[in-house]
């Protein structure tokens, strides 16, 4: 479908951005190359009258995006996780982008639930309310289960949303390919990769079984975290277009005055929300990547409740260790070690000078440590860090960008509860514990044991693999094709020895 017919959609998009005044703001924020700016203005300005007017009370970019509909709203929200693409200021604006869409009727919602779950709504739920929240992809209803009486949240996809998103995704892919063709300089922004990333996020959110699975996985990871709760999915009441979760009963984390009035310790809550996020990111490598006040509540017993698992972040174990070492290096102000970690991880090209890089990192860290507790910002340091690494040739890593963006959000949540919070003092024990458990001698032995345990699976094939290797070497060195021979006894014994050692260590560790 990615063809010229999408030009009309792009013209309508450009016209809306021109009419709302968002075009110049967006192009400036993203530092778009001049040639591409010209193309964008040409596609928008002559057709300005075709653009949607939008809500004049909104800032230009959010006004344009909300006027263009659900796919654009979701795209704006996902772009808020990519300050490397849209710039930090525009990312902040997009982060608070609201889903200003009217709910669809309760009759359509009930029909969708009955079709997906194969039973009338009245048999499944004793009560089923009007929509309590409406977003770009789905809306939420409060309900009570007919079998247990438990209060639950029922999330239902908008009718026809899958088709609408497919059409707009098609246009986004077409636009990305046009951008890369017209302006090679824009490839540093990786527009096609950004659209693919967005497509992956949206496809996951359009299948609510995947969001239920994310909730289930997050709940399993965090079940022993004190003061933290995740609603349980109700699997037999969930399907592709419908998801039922336990109800999150509590005060919105953004309502600080109500939280104080209820007698909760806002200082303890501010520290806990930051430490929980770092624990999930470092310990589990699986974190809530949309952890703003709208997705967090405080229960009567003081627990923090997280919900809405449409955007989750994942980091592999090696990247977690690198990230922890970088954070600890800054905490200890050991900039040489921070620089070395970047080189060891291959984040910065080996032909750059590690001493110069360490000096650049010192210029990032020292001014921040000179600030008082109310000014010290881990998010600001990470933003500066990405600026420096980009200058030294570091390639963009999507998982780290998502982590940085979530860190910015979580820091904002913590400071809204306690403006005087010292982010580094709160983070220190979590990072130090992770490093102690994962970067010390015991961790090295554990890693070796895992590696050797994996190698033991190749035990039955080891003699054959060694024989093939020796034959290949013999064929390479011989002037004439070598005849097939039996494996030397020393090779067989060596292979069996490695296998035995690996098996023993695997069992021991």
Residues with catalytic roles: 290
3-class secondary-structure state, position 345: coil
CA separation for the pair 81, 192 (Å, rounded):
16
Contact 265, 291 (CB under 8 A): no
Contact 173, 193 (CB under 8 A): no
Contact 35, 182 (CB under 8 A): yes
Please state, as a whole number, how many other Cβ atoms lie within 10 Å of the Cβ of residue 271: 20
CA separation for the pair 368, 379 (Å, rounded):
11
CA separation for the pair 276, 427 (Å, rounded):
10
| Alpha helix stretches (DSSP H) within 457-488 | 462-477
Whose tokens are 């009370």? That residue is 57
3-class secondary-structure state, position 261: helix
End-to-end CA distance of the chain: 54
3-class secondary-structure state, position 155: strand
CA separation for the pair 132, 35 (Å, rounded):
46
Q: Going edge to edge, which strands form the sheet with 296-298?
A: 228-229, 304-306, 296-298, 251-252
């Amino acid at each position: 479908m990615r063809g010229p017919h999408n030009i009309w959609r792009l013209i309508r998009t450009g016209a809306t951005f021109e009419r709302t005044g968002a075009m110049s703001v967006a192009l400036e924020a993203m530092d778009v190359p001049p040639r591409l700016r010209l193309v964008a203005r040409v596609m928008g300005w002559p057709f300005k009258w075709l653009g949607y007017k939008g809500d004049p009370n909104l800032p230009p970019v959010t006004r344009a995006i909300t006027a263009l509909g659900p796919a654009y709203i979701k795209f704006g929200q996902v772009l808020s996780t990519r300050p490397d693409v849209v710039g930090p200021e525009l990312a902040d604006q997009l982060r608070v982008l609201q889903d200003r869409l009217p709910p669809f009727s309760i009759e359509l919602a009930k029909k969708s639930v009955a079709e997906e779950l194969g039973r009338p709504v009245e048999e499944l739920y004793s009560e089923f309310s009007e929509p309590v929240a409406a977003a770009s992809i789905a809306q939420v209803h409060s309900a009570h289960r007919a079998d247990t009486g438990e209060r639950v949240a029922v999330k239902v996809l908008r009718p026809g949303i899958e088709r609408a998103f497919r059409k707009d995704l098609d246009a986004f892919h077409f636009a990305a390919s046009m951008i890369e063709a017209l302006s090679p300089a824009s490839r540093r922004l990786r527009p096609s990769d950004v659209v693919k990333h967005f497509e992956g996020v949206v496809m996951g959110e359009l299948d609510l079984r995947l969001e239920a699975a994310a909730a289930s996985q997050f709940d399993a990871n965090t079940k022993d975290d004190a003061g933290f709760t995740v609603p349980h999915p109700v699997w037999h009441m969930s399907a592709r277009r419908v998801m039922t979760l336990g109800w999150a009963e509590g005060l919105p984390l953004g309502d600080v005055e109500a939280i104080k009035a209820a007698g909760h310790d806002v200082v303890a809550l501010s520290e806990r929300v930051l430490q929980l996020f770092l624990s999930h990111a470092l310990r589990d490598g699986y974190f809530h990547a949309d952890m703003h006040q709208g997705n967090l509540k405080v229960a009567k017993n003081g627990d923090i409740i997280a919900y809405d698992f449409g955007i989750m972040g994942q980091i592999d174990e090696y990247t977690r260790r690198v990230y922890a070492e970088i954070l600890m290096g800054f905490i200890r102000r050991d900039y040489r070690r921070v620089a070395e970690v970047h080189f060891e991880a291959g984040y910065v090209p080996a032909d750059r000078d590690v001493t110069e890089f360490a000096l650049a990192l010192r210029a990032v860290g020292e001014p921040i440590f000179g600030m008082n507790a109310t000014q010290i910002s881990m998010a600001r340091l990470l933003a500066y860090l990405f600026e420096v690494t980009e200058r030294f040739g570091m390639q963009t890593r999507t998982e780290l960008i998502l982590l940085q963006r979530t860190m910015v959000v979580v820091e904002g949540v913590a400071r809204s509860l306690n403006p005087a919070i010292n982010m580094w003092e709160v983070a220190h024990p979590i990072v130090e514990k992770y490093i102690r458990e994962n970067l010390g001698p015991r961790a090295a032995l554990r890693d070796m044991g895992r590696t050797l345990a994996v190698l033991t699976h190749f035990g039955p094939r080891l003699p054959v693999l060694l024989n093939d290797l020796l034959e290949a070497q013999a064929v390479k060195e011989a002037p004439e094709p070598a005849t097939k021979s039996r494996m030397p006894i020393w090779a067989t014994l060596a292979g069996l020895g490695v296998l035995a050692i690996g098996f023993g260590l695997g069992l021991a560790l």
